[in-house]
Chain A
Amino acid sequence: MKRILLGAGLGMAAALALAAPAQAAKTLVYCSEGSPENFNPMLNTTGTSFDVSLPVYNNLVQFERGGTKVVPGLAESWTVSEDGLTYTFKLRAGAKWHSSNDFKPTRDANADDVLFSFNRQWKADHPFHKVSGGAYDYFGDMAMPKLLKSIEKVDDLTVKFTLNAVEAPFLANLAMPFAPIMSAEYADQLLKKGTPEKLDQIPIGTGPFQFVAYQKDAVIRYKAFENYWGGRQPLDNLVFAITPDAAVRYAKLKANECQIMPYPNPADLDAMKKDTSIVLQEQEGLNVGYLSFNVQKKPFDDVRVRRAISMALDKKAMVDAVYQSAGVPAKNPIPPTMWSYNKAIEDYPFDQERAKKLLADAGYPNGFETDLWAMPVQRPYNPNAKRIAEMMQADLAKIGVKAKIVQYEWGEYRKRMQQGEHQMGMLGWTGDNGDPDNFLYNLLGCEAARPGGSNLSKWCNKEFDDLVVQAKRTTDVAARTKLYEQAQVIFKEDAPWYTIAHSVVHMGLSKNVVDYKMDSFGIHRFEGVDLKQ
């Protein structure tokens, strides 16, 4: 039995003791909110689990720190063919793998690793496909199996992806957490030893931090990787102290037991803002909460009714009462941090007189009866749907619309709404890849308007659909921006949704944390972060 200062375990004792004497080492403690499911983001869908593998792995391309722009990762450059169907990635030469007690890499990262990492998720006959349950949710959700035609190794440092159709967000998809590059050599060794599942538990990557040890439900330890291609990190050690209770995370931050904490209690935000011993960062989340009008059902097939409802609801009051400081009113279906967000659009005013007139024009001078669905659970984009529904109900009553609140168990709720059973109902979306396509095509395109599809309003506007499909098939960002801006104008005019709010995400930081950037995707990255001592 041994004991080592500042991390250790798994036999990294000697290396660590040399690398980081206790007094001088810079250790950043992050009070994370929960335990990871494992250390392989291919298998996961939650931010909590993504966070723990991000320090270890690189993708071919990655999102810039704090933004949604795609920048080089393990691939230092790439080219897209004229027809937009072939992506050729040039890998970085000399990108080193981490090592552990059980694994000493004999080579740098190369094309075989890329093939391994994608084929594991893609090919059902791959020896690792079934390992650890083999559910590659995101790979499937981003339609990768449908999209990919082939992945070929051109030479050791060149990989060619061929697609079945032009898909502009493809590059952004590759930057998502589900597409890390793992070591094929490590995997082979594990397979030979008969312990393939260790690949998902003891991660070996090329990233800025090297995994050291995980004490279940308590602490995860990393140390800076000396040979990181992007340069050694300013921090020596990174520690995740798993702290599920938000009030306790705040207490730990105050007591300097950790230096960064996510997800504060909304009720603590005012106190945190006034607290001079810490820094409270905030950013609009990459999400939207909305009320969908089912345009296939009366009376919402009439755009005048949809507009009338949009004018009858007091958005500011809802956001103030329910989101408090953790939300901003939404006017567009995409969040303001996303490129192509159309600032020029004006929201419907809160004007119940005009709403009544519109209803009368549409043939409902005395209003009508409708259902109003509300999620039974708290979601990042809507902390209390029931409360919002009650406020909506009260507002609607003033223009003669009688709304009945409907709730189902969460899984059932989503399924029924996707089937289009509701007249009016709330839901929302959190962005995956930072691409407007992920919102506009997925949630409002004609393809998704089928029963069971995620276009809950079942709204299929030809003009809108042409724009978002065209944008999907165009790789030039400037051209795409124009198309999406136009699409948002049509969306607002035709009002298939009443956009409610985007959440605002907060992070508590100690004053000595330097250069931490909040991530647009709601994940937490520590590359480049430093501590003043």
Chain B
Amino acid sequence: MLRFILTRVSLVIPTFLGITFLTFILIRLVPGDPIEVRVGERGIAPERLAQLRHEMGLDLPLWQQFLDYVGNVLSGDFGLSLITRNPVLDEFVTLFPATLELAFSAMLFATLVGLPAGILAAVKRGSMFDHGVMGLSLTGYSMPIFWWGLLLILFFSVGLGWTPVSGRLDLLYYVEPTTGFMLIDTLMAGEYGAFRSALQHLILPTIVLGTVPLAVVARMTRSAMLEVLGEDYIRTARAKGLAGRRVIGMHALRNALIPVVTVIGLQVGTLLGGAILTETIFSWPGVGKWLIESIGRRDYPALQGGVLLIATSVILVNLLVDVLYGVLNPRIRHAR
């Protein structure tokens, strides 16, 4: 097992370098540098421009900027944001729990709803329920996040007044961040009102962010289940006279879960990508919203650091999924 993990980890290094290089180059290909974006109509004297570029290290050749950056990152230094002058890592660490909290709750929502829906659809193949689930999941998968978010806000928040429009916590409450996870922090503070408020604030963004993964999980579960349900050992189990529930729960589901877990793992990337839009709609103070602003301001260090750190978490999750895979299916573990 250890060897398996080590091999997987060693594969991560080239991935890191590739991501670092890509983010570094892509943002520099976007026209306008941080200074030009700032000056607007006013313009800037050439001497002052040269001085600022020098202070920001933008006057060095690109390859040197890149090497310096990689060197710094390897020693754990992600640089200072060009705009706020705070360390990028600090900003990321402050904001990332909000994104994680949202992503986690969206995943939970997608799994808790998607899994049973997929199983039921497979078991009742061809029924109205099956068609309904498949139709809805196709719709969900194709839903533009921005439109979907606004629609829910207008209906539930403005129209019915059931949920708050945006934000993370009612402004009546102030909870000193300890873990950065609002649900945990409010509980630790013993503030049940604040906890409830945090939960209410989570509902709509969770639904919006969880819609695509929900659709994917439901469809994947259904097809994996269908495949497994057609296997000989299922027929055997049934022939043995096992109860239907037991056959599905014990024999079919466990085997059907393997591709589903992979898909859930892959959805983490989608979730973090979707979080950028969801956070913007719901004024959710996570890394997505922060990255969008950094692009607008051409805040190179913040963007590079942010993307790199997010990519790291996606890679880590995938690693975890691979390991979990081995746990679910001993054949895979032993084969390596």
> Complex Cα distance A38/B142, Å?
39
Q: With a CB–CB cut-off of 8 A, which chain A residues contact B32?
A: 409-411
Q: Once the chains bind, are A217 and B290 in contact (CB under 8 Å)?
A: yes
- Stretch binding the partner chain, chosen from B119-127, B175-183, B215-223, B227-235: B175-183
> Complex Cα distance A414/B48, Å?
16
Q: Does A428 contact B (CB under 8 A)?
A: yes
Q: With a CB–CB cut-off of 8 A, which chain A residues contact B91?
A: 216
Residue among B32, B171, B189 with the highest chain A CB neighbour number at 10 A:
B171
> Complex Cα distance A252/B158, Å?
8
Min Cβ gap A50→B in Å is 14
Q: Closest residue of chain A to B46, judged by CB?
A: A452
Q: Does B112 contact A (CB under 8 A)?
A: no
Kindly identify which residue among A45, A197, A252 contacts B38, using a CB–CB cutoff of 8 Å. A45
> Complex Cα distance A219/B280, Å?
14
Interface residues in A, total, Cβ within 8 A: 59
Q: Once the chains bind, are A411 and B31 in contact (CB under 8 Å)?
A: yes
Q: Once the chains bind, are B167 and A257 in contact (CB under 8 Å)?
A: yes
Q: Once the chains bind, are A5 and B283 in contact (CB under 8 Å)?
A: no
> Complex Cα distance A363/B165, Å?
63
Q: Once the chains bind, are B171 and A27 in contact (CB under 8 Å)?
A: yes
Kindly identify which residue among B33, B38, B95 contacts A217, using a CB–CB cutoff of 8 Å. B95
Q: Once the chains bind, are B173 and A5 in contact (CB under 8 Å)?
A: yes
- Stretch binding the partner chain, chosen from B62-70, B149-157, B260-268, B319-327: B149-157
Residue among B161, B175, B188 with the highest chain A CB neighbour number at 10 A:
B175
Q: How many A-B residue pairs have CB under 8 A?
A: 145
Q: Once the chains bind, are A3 and B175 in contact (CB under 8 Å)?
A: yes
Tell whether A137 pairs with B176 under 8 Å between CB atoms, given A217-B290, A218-B168, A257-B165. Answer: no
Q: Closest residue of chain B to A7, judged by CB?
A: B174
Q: Once the chains bind, are B285 and A217 in contact (CB under 8 Å)?
A: yes
Q: Does B94 contact A (CB under 8 A)?
A: yes
Interface residues in B, total, Cβ within 8 A: 57
Q: Closest residue of chain B to A29, judged by CB?
A: B171
Q: Does A132 contact B (CB under 8 A)?
A: yes
Q: With a CB–CB cut-off of 8 A, which chain B residues contact A135?
A: 52
Min Cβ gap B302→A in Å is 11
Q: Once the chains bind, are B94 and A216 in contact (CB under 8 Å)?
A: yes
> Complex Cα distance A22/B191, Å?
15
Q: Does A96 contact B (CB under 8 A)?
A: no
Q: Does A266 contact B (CB under 8 A)?
A: no
Contact with A along B281-315 (1 / 0, CB 8 A): 11101100110110000000000000000000000
Kindly identify which residue among A141, A216, A239, A248 contacts B171, using a CB–CB cutoff of 8 Å. A239
> Complex Cα distance A16/B290, Å?
30
Q: Summarize A's interface: helix, strand, loop or mixed.
A: mixed
Q: Once the chains bind, are A6 and B283 in contact (CB under 8 Å)?
A: no
Contact with A along B186-197 (1 / 0, CB 8 A): 001101001000
Q: Once the chains bind, are A244 and B280 in contact (CB under 8 Å)?
A: yes
Q: With a CB–CB cut-off of 8 A, which chain B residues contact A452?
A: 43, 46
Q: Does A332 contact B (CB under 8 A)?
A: no
Q: Once the chains bind, are A255 and B161 in contact (CB under 8 Å)?
A: yes
Of residues 73 through 119 on chain B, the ones whose CB sits less than 8 Å from some CB of chain A are 82-85, 91, 94-95
Tell whether A137 pairs with B174 under 8 Å between CB atoms, given A216-B95, A218-B285. Answer: no
Q: With a CB–CB cut-off of 8 A, which chain B residues contact A428?
A: 41
> Complex Cα distance A369/B159, Å?
56
Q: Once the chains bind, are A255 and B150 in contact (CB under 8 Å)?
A: no
> Complex Cα distance A27/B43, Å?
40
Q: With a CB–CB cut-off of 8 A, which chain A residues contact B282?
A: 248
Q: Once the chains bind, are A38 and B85 in contact (CB under 8 Å)?
A: yes
> Complex Cα distance A29/B161, Å?
18
Q: Once the chains bind, are A38 and B84 in contact (CB under 8 Å)?
A: yes
Q: Does B59 contact A (CB under 8 A)?
A: no
Q: Does B42 contact A (CB under 8 A)?
A: yes
Q: Does B39 contact A (CB under 8 A)?
A: yes
Q: With a CB–CB cut-off of 8 A, which chain B residues contact A27?
A: 171
Q: With a CB–CB cut-off of 8 A, which chain B residues contact A1?
A: 175-176, 178, 185, 188-189
Q: With a CB–CB cut-off of 8 A, which chain A residues contact B177?
A: 215
Min Cβ gap B82→A in Å is 8
Q: Does B243 contact A (CB under 8 A)?
A: no
Q: Closest residue of chain B to A239, judged by CB?
A: B171
Q: With a CB–CB cut-off of 8 A, which chain A residues contact B165?
A: 248, 251-252, 255, 257
Q: Does A267 contact B (CB under 8 A)?
A: no
Q: Once the chains bind, are A454 and B41 in contact (CB under 8 Å)?
A: yes
Min Cβ gap B50→A in Å is 13
Q: Does B164 contact A (CB under 8 A)?
A: yes
Kindly identify which residue among A213, A244, A255 contacts B283, using a CB–CB cutoff of 8 Å. A244
Q: Does B166 contact A (CB under 8 A)?
A: yes
Kindly identify which residue among B38, B41, B157 contacts A251, using a CB–CB cutoff of 8 Å. B157
Residue among B48, B174, B282 with the highest chain A CB neighbour number at 10 A:
B174
Tell whether A245 pairs with B281 under 8 Å between CB atoms, given A35-B293, A410-B31. Answer: yes
Q: Once the chains bind, are A248 and B189 in contact (CB under 8 Å)?
A: no
Q: With a CB–CB cut-off of 8 A, which chain A residues contact B42?
A: 137, 141, 454
Q: Once the chains bind, are A415 and B178 in contact (CB under 8 Å)?
A: no
Of residues 219 through 268 on chain A, the ones whose CB sits less than 8 Å from some CB of chain B are 219, 221, 239, 241-245, 247-248, 251-252, 254-255, 257
Q: Does A463 contact B (CB under 8 A)?
A: no
Min Cβ gap B94→A in Å is 5
Q: Closest residue of chain B to A412, judged by CB?
A: B31
Q: Once the chains bind, are B153 and A217 in contact (CB under 8 Å)?
A: no
Q: Does B11 contact A (CB under 8 A)?
A: no
Contact with B along A166-209 (1 / 0, CB 8 A): 00000000000000000000000000000001001000000000
Q: Once the chains bind, are B285 and A248 in contact (CB under 8 Å)?
A: no
Q: With a CB–CB cut-off of 8 A, which chain B residues contact A211?
A: none
> Complex Cα distance A2/B188, Å?
10
Kindly identify which residue among A22, A241, A410 contacts B167, using a CB–CB cutoff of 8 Å. A241
Q: Closest residue of chain B to A414, judged by CB?
A: B43
Q: Once the chains bind, are A137 and B39 in contact (CB under 8 Å)?
A: yes
Q: With a CB–CB cut-off of 8 A, which chain B residues contact A257?
A: 164-167
> Complex Cα distance A452/B37, Å?
18
Q: Once the chains bind, are B85 and A427 in contact (CB under 8 Å)?
A: no
> Complex Cα distance A353/B150, Å?
50
Q: With a CB–CB cut-off of 8 A, which chain B residues contact A465?
A: none
Q: With a CB–CB cut-off of 8 A, which chain A residues contact B39?
A: 45, 137, 411, 414
A-B pairs, 5 with minimum CB distance: A411-B36, A409-B31, A218-B285, A217-B285, A243-B283
Residues of A bordering B, CB below 8 Å: 1-9, 22, 27, 29, 34-35, 37-38, 45, 132-133, 135, 137, 140-141, 197, 200, 213, 215-219, 221, 239, 241-245, 247-248, 251-252, 254-255, 257, 379, 409-412, 414-415, 418, 427-430, 452, 454
- Ordered by A's residue number, 7 sampled pairs between the chains whose C-beta atoms are within 8 Å are A216-B91, A244-B292, A245-B281, A248-B283, A255-B161, A411-B32, A428-B41
List 17 additional A-B contacts (Cβ < 8 Å) besides A3-B173, A244-B289. Answer: A3-B175, A5-B173, A137-B42, A140-B48, A217-B285, A217-B286, A218-B283, A218-B285, A219-B171, A241-B167, A244-B293, A248-B166, A252-B166, A257-B165, A411-B32, A412-B31, A428-B41
